[in-house]
């Protein structure tokens, strides 16, 4: 089992989770700054104002990447650093642009290929206040297109672009459950505003259209000279039927992936929403206008895949509540016969299941015609890791085993099954602000000591990453 000799591997982060420096050099507020300020929204009451202080430590981060042997690095830009108010008629902040220009130059000089995500959830707060942010079908895609153009123009040396990270999370967690910014939900105990039965489907639609606009601009105005590629990153678990003998569970297991991934991937690759979604949601799922469909269909040069875990799926009763977003089903860590998906971690939603990674790579490849795939996130938390002290906290053998098993499963999907995977970015380069879970949950291969000046120390998994990939990548 092997990966091609030009296979890229490295690590991933996101601006709000690592940069800090939220008041520095003209950055504007984002919906996450606003959300974190609401008491009770973040588990430990923290925010991303300092985080890993990566904005001020780019040289340190690049030195770390080099030490670990990484050949690529995925990071996101803070839109509010580049256009502090966000809109197409708002001023551009040159200091924000200069920061990222230097960062890309320094990465390339270190021999590391940058993968840039344009938006990893941190929408400029002004756009949310001005016109409802992601809910606005006309304004948001135009403002995102303008921001994308500003960035492409400033960073021609970057050849790998991702429009959005995990639109499912922005839509469902931001507008259905209210766990993520801006926190809208039908649950009035949590939010005075929101409609969980409608808003997430509107937001998902608008993100697809905005993605299509940003891709069109890149392909028409920049790709001919810059010769880069662009896609979107989608998240989703693999699924197994709770009872493999029950055709309703078999169907539900497939439907879960459709509601999570095909919601976005079907319009991009096949030109329409999944029939299972249309059947359940009816007119709550927007229809594409001909102009929108022209923007969305065929708008991926590659598929960005974020993947962590798998679930056993049990069918529902055929009467899902209006706020249901799973597809009339429930997920379980154990199957009917008592088999377990995998061991517990610090994250309630994550249990390691490397075979599921291979399974999902195949599922996606078959449905979408074997597109080039970059794994843009994959990793694990460890139960109780945050309670450990040095040096125990550095001995993350559980995480090393996760990476070894998942990378080997991916290598089999490529060499034995014919999946076209071109690169892999582990989540994450370092412990960071884990959104609603604050700093209590750690995903890094590098330990960050938040109490002692954001000091970074490589864990066991960090030091073993190159060895894992050397064992499966063909020698040149």
- What span, in angstroms and rounded, lies between the C-alpha atoms of 362 and 272? 21
Contact of 132 with 169, CB cutoff 8 Å: no
Contact of 374 with 422, CB cutoff 8 Å: yes
Task: Check 19, 166, 199, 437 and give the catalytic one.
Answer: 166
> Which segments within 122-203 are labelled E, that is strand?
160-165
145 in active site: no
CA nearest to 432, candidates 415, 417, 420, 444 = 444
- What span, in angstroms and rounded, lies between the C-alpha atoms of 268 and 284? 20
Q: What angle do CA 180, 121, 199 make, to 5 degrees?
A: 60
- What span, in angstroms and rounded, lies between the C-alpha atoms of 104 and 159? 11
Task: Check 377, 385, 434, 458 and give the catalytic one.
Answer: 377
Residues in the chain: 476
- What span, in angstroms and rounded, lies between the C-alpha atoms of 108 and 72? 9
Q: What angle do CA 358, 360, 363 make, to 5 degrees?
A: 115
Give the number of other CB atoms < 10 A from CB of residue 149.
17
Could you write out the DSSP letters of every residue in 291-331? HHHHHHTT--SEEEEE---EEEEEE--S---TT--S-SEEE
Q: What is the DSSP letter of 219?
A: I
Give Cβ neighbours of residue 344 (< 8 Å, ≥ 6 apart). 351, 383
Output the CA torsion 402→160→237→421 (10° steps): -70
109 in active site: no
Q: What is the DSSP letter of 88?
A: T
CA nearest to 117, candidates 143, 155, 172 = 155
- What span, in angstroms and rounded, lies between the C-alpha atoms of 134 and 136? 5
Catalytic residues: 166, 377
């Amino acid at each position: 089992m092997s990966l091609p000799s030009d296979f890229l591997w490295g690590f991933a982060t996101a601006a709000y989770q690592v940069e800090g420096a939220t008041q520095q050099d003209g950055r504007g507020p984002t919906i996450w700054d606003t959300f974190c300020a609401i008491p009770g929204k973040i588990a430990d009451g923290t925010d991303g104002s300092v985080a890993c202080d990566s904005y001020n430590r780019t040289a340190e981060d690049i030195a770390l990447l080099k030490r670990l042997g990484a050949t690529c690095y995925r990071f996101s830009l803070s839109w509010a650093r580049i256009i502090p108010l966000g809109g197409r008629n708002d001023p551009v902040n040159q200091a924000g642009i200069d920061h990222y220009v230097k960062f890309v130059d320094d990465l390339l000089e270190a021999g590391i290929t940058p993968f840039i995500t344009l938006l990893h959830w941190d929408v400029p707060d002004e756009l949310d206040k001005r016109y409802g942010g992601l809910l606005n079908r006309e304004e948001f895609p135009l403002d995102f297109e303008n921001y994308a153009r500003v960035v492409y123009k400033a960073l021609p040396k970057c050849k790998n672009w991702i429009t959005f990270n995990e639109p499912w999370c922005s839509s469902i967690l931001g507008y259905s459950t209210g766990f993520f910014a801006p926190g809208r939900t039908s649950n009035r105990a949590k939010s005075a505003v929101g409609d969980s039965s409608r808003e997430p489907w509107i937001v998902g639609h608008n993100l697809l259209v905005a993605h299509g606009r940003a891709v069109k601009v890149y392909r028409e105005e920049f790709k001919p000279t810059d010769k880069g590629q662009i896609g979107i990153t989608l998240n989703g678990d693999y699924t197994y039927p709770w009872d493999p003998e029950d055709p309703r569970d078999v169907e539900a297991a497939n439907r879960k992936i459709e509601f999570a991934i095909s919601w976005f991937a079907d319009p991009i690759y096949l030109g329409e929403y999944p029939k299972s979604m249309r059947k359940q949601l009816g007119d709550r799922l927007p229809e594409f206008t001909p102009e929108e469909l022209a923007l969305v269909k065929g708008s991926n040069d590659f598929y960005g895949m974020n993947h962590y875990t798998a679930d056993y799926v049990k069918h529902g009763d055929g009467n899902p509540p209006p706020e249901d977003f799973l597809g009339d089903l429930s997920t379980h860590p154990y199957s009917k016969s008592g088999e377990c998906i995998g061991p517990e971690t610090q994250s309630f939603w994550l249990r390691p299941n490397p075979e599921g990674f291979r399974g999902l790579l195949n599922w996606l490849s078959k449905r979408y015609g074997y597109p080039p795939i970059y794994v843009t996130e994959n990793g694990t938390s460890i139960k109780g890791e945050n309670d450990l002290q040095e040096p125990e906290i550095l001995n993350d053998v559980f995480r090393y085993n996760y990476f070894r098993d998942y990378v080997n499963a991916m290598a089999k999907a490529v060499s034995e099954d014919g999946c076209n995977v071109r690169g892999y970015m582990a989540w994450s380069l370092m412990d960071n602000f884990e959104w609603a879970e604050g700093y209590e949950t750690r995903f890094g291969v590098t330990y960050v000591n938040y109490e002692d000046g954001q000091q970074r120390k490589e864990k066991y998994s960090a030091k073993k990453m190159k060895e894992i990939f050397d064992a499966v990548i063909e020698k040149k």
